[in-house]
Amino acid sequence: MADLDRPLSLAPSTPRRHLYSAPIDSRTPGDAVAGTAKGRSTTDRWTTTSTKDAMTSTQDDALDLAELARSHLTPVLGRYFERSWSHGVGHRLFDTAGRAYLDFANGIAVSALGHAHPAVTAAIHAQVDRLTVPTMAIGYSEPPVRLAAALAETFPAPLDTVMFLNSGSEAIEAALKLARRSTGRPAIVSFRGGFHGRTFGAASVTSSSLNYRRGYEPLLPQVHILPFPAVYRDFGGDEDRATATCLQALRDLVASVVPPETIAAALIEPVLGEGGYSPAPAPFLRGLRAFCDEHGILLIADEVQTGFGRTGRMWGFEHAGIVPDIVCLAKAIANGLPLSAIVSSRDLQNRWGRGAHGSTFGGNPVACAAGLAVLQTIREGRLVENAAARGSELTAGLGRIMAEDDRIGDVRGPGLMVGAELVIDRESRAPDGDTTDAVLARCADAGLLLLSCGVQHQVVRWIPPLDVTPAEVLEGLEIFADALGSVPRRTETRA
Ligand X SMILES: Cc1ncc(COP(=O)(O)O)c(C=O)c1O
**Residues whose CB is less than 8 angstroms from the CB of residue 209 and which lie 6 or more positions away in sequence, other chains included:** 195, 274, 455
Of residues 442-471, which lie at the interface with ligand X (CB under 6 A)? Answer: none
**Identified binder of ligand X from the candidate list 64, 302, 325, 472, rule CB under 6 A:** 302
From 53-61, 191-199, 378-386, 395-403, give the range in contact with ligand X by CB under 6 A.
Answer: 191-199
Which of positions 144-173 make contact with ligand X (CB under 6 A)? 167-169, 172
Please, what is the minimum distance in Å from the beta carbon of residue 67 to ligand X? 26
Question: How far apart (Å, rounded) are the C-alpha atoms in residues 14 and 125?
Answer: 11
Which residue, 304 or 422, is less far from ligand X as judged by CB? 304
Q: Name which position in 305, 335, 364, 436 contacts ligand X (CB under 6 A).
A: 305
Does residue 188 interact with ligand X by CB under 6 A?
Answer: no
Enumerate the β-bridge partners of residue 337. 335
* H or E element that contains 267: strand 263-268
Cα 307 to Cα 109: distance, rounded to the nearest angstrom: 10
Which of 397, 318, 330, 371 is CA-nearest to residue 149? 371
Site string (107-126) toward ligand X, x via CB under 6 A: -x------------------
- Pairwise CA distance, residues 329 & 312, whole Å: 16
Task: Specify the residue, 274 or 421, whose C-beta has the smaller distance to ligand X.
Answer: 274
Cα distance between residue 121 and residue 473, in whole Å:
25
Q: Is 134 among the residues that bind ligand X (CB under 6 A)?
A: no
CA distance 443 to 460: 11
Residue 270 found at the interface with ligand X (CB under 6 A): no
Contacting ligand X within 326-385 (CB under 6 A): 330
Cβ-based nearer residue to ligand X, 198 or 490:
198
Which of these ranges, 7-15, 29-37, 192-200, 418-426, lies near ligand X under the rule CB under 6 A?
A: 192-200
Rounded CA separation 363/369 (Å): 10
Q: Are 189 and 267 in contact (CB under 8 A)?
A: yes
Cα 241 to Cα 436: distance, rounded to the nearest angstrom = 28
Give the nearer residue to ligand X in terms of CB position, either 96 or 278. 278
Q: Does 83 interact with ligand X (rule: CB under 6 A)?
A: no
The reply to whether 174 sits near ligand X by the rule CB under 6 A is no
Among residues 101, 104, 195, 232, the one that binds ligand X under rule CB under 6 A: 195
Among 103, 269, 432, 472, binds ligand X (CB under 6 A): 269
- Beta bridge partners, 343, equal 162, 327
Is 483 within 8 Å of 443 (Cβ atoms)? yes
Contact with ligand X (CB under 6 A) among 234, 274, 467, 472: 274
Among 88, 197, 309, 362, which residue interacts with ligand X (rule: CB under 6 A)?
197
- 316 touching ligand X, by CB under 6 A: no
Name the phi and psi angles at 21, rounded to 5.
Answer: -75, 140
Helix-helix angle 470-486:383-404, to 10 degrees: 30
**Contacts to ligand X by CB under 6 A:** 108, 167-169, 172, 195-197, 269, 273-274, 302, 304-305, 330
